[in-house]
Each structure stands twice: as structure tokens, then as C-alpha cells.
Chain A
Amino acid sequence: MIRPILVRRDRVVPATQAVAFVVGIAAALALGLILLWTSGHNPAEVYERMFDSAFVGTDSLARTLERATPLALTGLAVAVAGSMGLWNIGAEGQMMAGATVATGVAMTADGLPGPLLIAVMVVAGVAGGMVLMLGPALARSHLGVSEIITTLMLVYVAIRVVEWLETGPWKDPASHGFAVIEPVPEQASLPGLFGRANVGTLIALGLLIVFSLAVSRTAWGYELRLSGSSPNTARYAGISLSRKVLTALLLSGGIAGLAGAVQLTGSATRLESGLSNGYGFAGIIVAALALMRPSGVAVAAVVFGGVQVGGQSIQTLGVSSAISDILQAMILFGALVAAVFFNYRVRWTGPAGESLVDEPEEADMAAEGA
């Protein structure tokens, strides 16, 4: 039987990324026409609202950025690990761990002035994410235990811990018995930029720039990518693989933890079991859309955030949440598939799996370079 396999294109022109994005989204929107027509909506009206509510006007842009910020940070977290071929599926949990430790710090240091308190909370958030990642990172680097399972399982542990804190030790005495944690101190809210956007967006942007450069332009980043794509070469070159795995995963966890602290001091008023709101899982999609490159995360996060804002906004027009969800999923899926096909091509293989045409090395995602 002849089977298709995907092979990385030899040369990927950066501009094609943008084209791929647009083509994929356009295809999904075209399919969405059918969905909207058959469900009795005016597609033009729905699409116009979807776009306007996410991108037209400062308030709309602000709320897209409000969403894009945690998405960019979790996306970056996943992408940093992904640069080395590692899968951090647990950014959702690390985000909660970061927010939890940041809340703990805010409770004991609530007398500090705002900027200082926020700084301390952000550092605590990074630490929290790293702590939750420590186990999976050590297990991966020293024992070879798959980080996919361990990071995922700890998501539920982190959320349960918050639920326990909510109903037990941290229950707000002023909450009339409701299971909520007291709000973070007033002064610990990130200054606003415009509309609902806050300084967290700038923090995310700064980190994206730093990590884009670090991964693509420094020796450290080169070693990271090399360790992921060709472990043997890396080892031959004297790179300590276990240390690289440890650093990449801990950084990844720390960035996700930072996302938790930023969310806590930004959009949220207090630590709640719903604080992570799916951003950690969505970060995997963001990183996938960015093909695991920190440099692509910003665009992917803004697109994703805009799709979510627009998807929710069309519900207020009367579009059901099911239709809206399908539409959002189609758009993201379209972008994802297009991104893959612009970077890989289909090659047909013969019965035993050997190629029908001679081909270069079958690449994998981690081999991705600048």
C-alpha cells in the first residue's frame, strides 16, 4: 500500500507563514458560511461582528490583548520546551501554581507598596510554576520519564490545591461562607494601558522578544535546538543533555507560572479555581500555530485571543455557543493545518515504508531553526 507521509520542506520562506495563516483562516471562514447559513444566521453580519468586536476600535483591541497576554505567555512556555522537542502539556497547572504562590506572598506582604508587591508576586509566580515543574523536569532529565504525562497530571493537582485553599485554609472570612479566597491587595493590580489592556501585555511582549532572540540567536538557543533535533550530535559536541532538558522544562514552567501571576494582578481580582480559564491548554495550540518558535507566538496569541473574543461576541447576536465553538475551532484548525502544509509536503511511500523518491532526512518539529 502506498501511504502519504509529511516531509519538511527544504526551504521555508518566512513570508509564507503569513500567507499560510491567511489561507487557512479564509478556508475555515468559507466553510463557516455553510454552518451559519444552515443555522439561520446572516454570515456577513456574524463575521462583521466577530471581526469588529475583536480588532476594530481601542476597546476591542484592548480586550483582545487582555486575552492574548496569558495566551502569549503560556504559548511561549510551551514553545520554549518545544524548541527542544519537549512537550509541556501542563502549563494550565503551572499557571495555577504561579498564581497560588503569588497569592500566598501577597497575603503575607500586603503592606508593601504596589510596584514592589507586584514585582515580588511576579517572581513568586515564576517560582511557583518552576516548583510544579521540578518533578516532571527531574524525572525527564534523569530517568527519561515522559514529561507529557507528568506535566498533564499535575494540572489537576494544582487545581485541586486551589479548591482546597478556597474551601479551607484561605477561605475569606468576609465572604458570607462562600468558598472564595480574599481579593489580592488593592495596590497589587497592574496599571492599565488602554481599555482593559494592562501592563501585563508589555511584560509578555518583552519576554517574547528576549526568548525569540535567545532561542534563535544565541549559542544557548542553538544548543537547545540541537539537543532536541539531534541528541547524539549534541552529546558528541559535549552538551549535557540532562542539564539542557532540566533548564528548558524549568524555564517553561516558570514562564507559565508567570502567566498565572500576571493574570492574578491583571484581569482577575483574586485566586480562583477557574483563574487559568483554559489558557494553559490553549497555549499548546498557540505554540503549535507558531510552529514552536517563540517569534511566532505573539501573532498566534493575538489571532487566538481575537477569535475567542469574536466568538463570544457573536453569541450576543443570538448565535448559539455550540455554533460559535465550532466556528472558533474551525478557524484555529484551518490556521494550524495550513501552517503545517506550508512547512511540510506530502510524500508518498511504498509498501515497506521506504520512500518512492529519494528524500532528505525526515525532519521533526524540533529541528526547526531560524
Chain B
Amino acid sequence: MAKKFLLKLLVVVATITLVAAGCGNDDDDAAPEPAPTQAPAPAEEPMDDEPMDDEPMTEEPMDDEPMTEEPMDDEPMDDEVVAAFVFVGPVGDAGWTWAHDQGRRYAEEQTGATTLFVENIPEVAEDFRSVVVDFIENEGADVIFATSFGYMDPMEELAGEYPDVVFEHASGYKMNDTNFGNFFGRMYQPRYLSGMAAGAMTQANQIGYVAAFPIPEVLRGINAFTLGAQRVNPDVEVHVTWTFTWFDPAVEGDSAAALIEAGADVIAMHQDSTAPGIAAQDAGARWVSYNSDMSAFAPDAFITAPVWNWGPYYARIIDAVAAGTYSPGAYWGGMDDEIVALAPLAADVPADVSAEIDAVAASIVDGSWDVFTGEIRDQDGNVVVAAGETLDDGSMLGMGYFVEGVVGNAAP
């Protein structure tokens, strides 16, 4: 990501500088490079949330260490909640982090709370701790939202150290009884619907799926997508490529291009960038994006997307913290709760398929049917869900296999 790129650039510059010293070349041109490559990003996000402005500040807002005897001096008014978000990627990724940032903005608007965020924070204890402690001690944060799995261990530790602060973790499984909860969404539901659209649009009956890591969340999504595609097109195959990265446009785009070369004419993805869609459009293939409606990035390729809608959940938690009624839980909301949804379909999706998608969506929302309802077989032909039965949450959360019709290795 940006941080790693910059680090590598610095290494190169350091090397060049030293080598130049040795061999007498003047390579100082390399110096100004970081600025232009990084400069466009800040323009995208107006710094509207200058956190210090709205605090009842004394003359020295940051100088916290000489005035330890006045505890919580920089805590804003009692009833105003400060919510801080730790993002793993850049808010401009148009994907995972962007969707969370939209949720942050929505929650700020709805609740009137002050929200703060940091982006590109690596999933290691020292980085996560450092920013969270700053949020709490310098900015008076009352609730911390962390949006990546790798923050779980340090967050558990911090929840113990700061019992008066609420910690909410997306995509993990740890929690406690007082101030640490987790939340996620049933993305497999709109994934199934997006699979139906993709199954209808493929001519080659071969769909390529660019997937990040072989973990239950991703396997569940691939299986749901495949079951949806098979519903409208029993001959369809879904070919999976693992990238071992959530966000790496180059790798994601290359993987999509390779899948297309191998015969796929529709690309689906469990990735955070728009690169697979751009690769699909370049090759004349179609694309099911993820995280957000990415139709603007590859309008000719775009079919639809399963999307996140985090805002209402964030607003609920902030309201609960403000009212003093927060209690932690393990939230896993579905389409009925609108935390996940399907983006609008492309105009050329056949009307009958579109109508069927609407009907299935309605049955998911009203609870009369769910995606993993049998009979479902795994890749080896073993029955994993018996006819008429529906998988329970535990089995879905621990899913470790591919269903029939997926081509690839679930445990590479």
C-alpha cells in the first residue's frame, strides 16, 4: 500500500544516494519523486473534520502530560460522542475502506457525533495501539471502530486497558461482556444474487473469481455466488484464483486478466480495488464488483455488485454510547437489516433474471429462504447440506470447502 510503496521508494533513494556517492553519479533527480505520486490523494478528501476545532479547548490542547492532575481535560461535552475509526486501506480505494468511510460520514450526519479516522494502518500491534491510544488520550475518543481482522488481538488488549471506551471490531470473533463487541454482515446473501446476474450474462459458462485469502468469509462468498450462478445457469463453472492480498491493484488486475485468458468472460472478485473490473473491460469481459457500486470505473463491464452499507450500524452504536445503553454483541446482520445489499443491475441483464433476483431477494429479506439451503454438495460430490435443511450460522462462519461447480483449491 501507500506506506509500503513509500518505504520501498525511500530504500531505492537511499541506495541510489549511497551508490552515487561511491561511483560519482548525481542521481538527485530521484528526490522529488514522492511528492507527485502521493499528492493527488489529499485533494480527494477535504479536511472538513478538523478535530481540535470543536473542543472546548484551553490554550494548549495537546499538552496532555503536564496536566495529568486534571483528568480528561480534553474530553468534549459530556453528551457529545467522539467516534474514531481505524482503517486498513486508503479511504480512496473505492472498495472496503471507502465503504466504511461512507458509513462514518453517514453516522456523523445522523448522530451529530464528531468522527475521526486514520487510514493505511498496518495490522500489527504497535501501529494499531499507537493510533488508538492517541485517539483516546489526545482526542477524547469514546468509541473506536476498527475495520480489519488483524486488529483483533491488540483491540482485545486495549479494551481491557480502557474500560470506559467502547471498542467495536469488524470481521473478527472476539468480544467481552462490557466494552468490546464485533460486527459483520451476511454478504453471502447479495453475493448469491450477484451470482444469478453473472450466471445469466456469461456466454462461455466460465466465470473467473479473483479472491483474496482462503478464509471462511471468502469461501462462503464464492460458494454463495456459485450457487446463485447455477440457479440460472446449471452449466456454469467458477474458476478461483487466490491473490493473498486484500488490496493490490496490480496483482488483482493481472489475476483477472489471466482468468479471462483462460476462458472466463465474466469476472467476480473478493478484493478491494477496481483493478479486476478495468482488466475485464479492457478484455471485453463483464464484471461483478464488490464493496461498493463501482460502475463508474468500468461502465461497459459492470453487471452489479454486492455492497456494504455500514452507516446505520455505526449510527446505532454511537447513539447507544451517547445514551449510555451500549452493550457489546456479535452482530451479523443481513439484507433485512440493510447492512448488505445488491447494487443496481446493468441495463442488459434480461428482465426475467432481474425479476427472479427481486423475488429471491424478497424471500431472503422476509426470512422464508436463505442461501445455504440443501441439497448442496461439495467439490468432491459429498452432500454438505441435506435436502431441505439450512446451514446454521456456526457452520457458515467456519466454512472450509468449495461447493460443486467451483474450480480451485479451498485450502491452497
Contact = CB atoms under 8 A, between A and B. Distances in A.
Nearest to B45: A320
Contact of B7 (A5, A167, A273, A281): A281
B213 A179 contact: yes
B383 interface: no
B24 A40 contact: no
A318 B130 contact: no
Contacts of A363: 22
B50 interface: yes
Contact of A268 (B13, B15, B125, B138): B125
B39 interface: yes
A320 B122 contact: no
B72 interface: no
Contact of B26 (A4, A176, A183, A321): A4
B215 A177 contact: yes
Interface stretch (A10-18, A44-52, A107-115): A44-52
Given A178-B216, A274-B124, A336-B17, A316 B139 contact: yes
Interface in B372-412: 397-400, 411-412
* Of B17, B22, B24, B39, most A-chain CB atoms within 10 Å: B24
B359 interface: no
Given A56-B65, A312-B118, A275 B24 contact: no
Contacts of B331: none
A360 interface: no
A358 interface: no
Interface string B2-44: 1110111111011101101111111010010011001101100
B126 A177 contact: no
Contact of A176 (B119, B133, B397): B397
A369 interface: no
B6 to A, nearest CB: 5
A340 B18 contact: yes
* Of B38, B119, B173, B399, most A-chain CB atoms within 10 Å: B38
Contact of B126 (A41, A67, A160, A323): A67
B11 A312 contact: no
A269 B123 contact: no
B135 interface: yes
* Of A6, A59, A270, A320, most B-chain CB atoms within 10 Å: A320
B153 interface: yes
Contact of B15 (A284, A315, A364): A284
B262 interface: no
Interface string A321-340: 11101101110110011001
Nearest to B244: A163
B120 interface: yes
B22 A337 contact: no
Contacts, number: 198
A176 B41 CA distance: 37
* Of A5, A177, A269, A328, most B-chain CB atoms within 10 Å: A177
Contacts of B28: 337
Contacts of B119: 315, 320-321
A336 B130 contact: no
Contact of A322 (B22, B39, B49, B63): B39
Interface string A156-199: 00001001000110000000111100010000000000001000
Contacts of A168: 411-412
* Of A39, A87, A274, A278, most B-chain CB atoms within 10 Å: A278
Contact of B150 (A274, A325, A336, A340): A274
Given A177-B400, A278-B7, A326 B35 contact: yes
Contacts of A227: none
Interface string B110-138: 00000010111111111101110111001
B127 A272 contact: no
A320 B47 CA distance: 8
Interface string B197-217: 000000000000000011110
A325 B3 contact: yes
Given A3-B26, A322-B38, A340-B21, A312 B121 contact: yes
A329 B9 contact: yes
Contact of B116 (A316, A320, A336): A316
Nearest to A41: B47
B71 to A, nearest CB: 15
Contacts of B399: 177
B357 to A, nearest CB: 29
A361 interface: no
Given A270-B153, A284-B15, A315-B131, A39 B47 contact: yes
Contacts of A95: none
B24 A6 contact: yes
A167 B243 CA distance: 13
A163 B243 CA distance: 11
A233 interface: no
Contacts of B15: 87, 284, 288
A315 B398 contact: no
A309 B62 CA distance: 16
A363 B124 CA distance: 41
A320 B43 CA distance: 10
Contacts of B120: 321, 325
A249 interface: no
A176 B219 CA distance: 13
A365 interface: yes
B260 to A, nearest CB: 25
* Of B28, B134, B400, most A-chain CB atoms within 10 Å: B134
What 4 pairs across the A-B complex have the smallest Cβ distances? A5-B24, A364-B22, A322-B41, A177-B216
Interface of A: 3-8, 39-41, 45, 48-49, 52-53, 56-57, 59, 63, 66-67, 87, 89, 160, 163, 167-168, 176-179, 183, 196, 267-270, 272-275, 277-278, 281-282, 284-285, 288, 309, 312-313, 315-318, 320-323, 325-326, 328-330, 332-333, 336-337, 340, 343-344, 349, 362-365
11 contacts: A40-B47, A48-B62, A49-B138, A52-B62, A56-B65, A167-B214, A176-B398, A267-B126, A284-B15, A288-B14, A318-B47
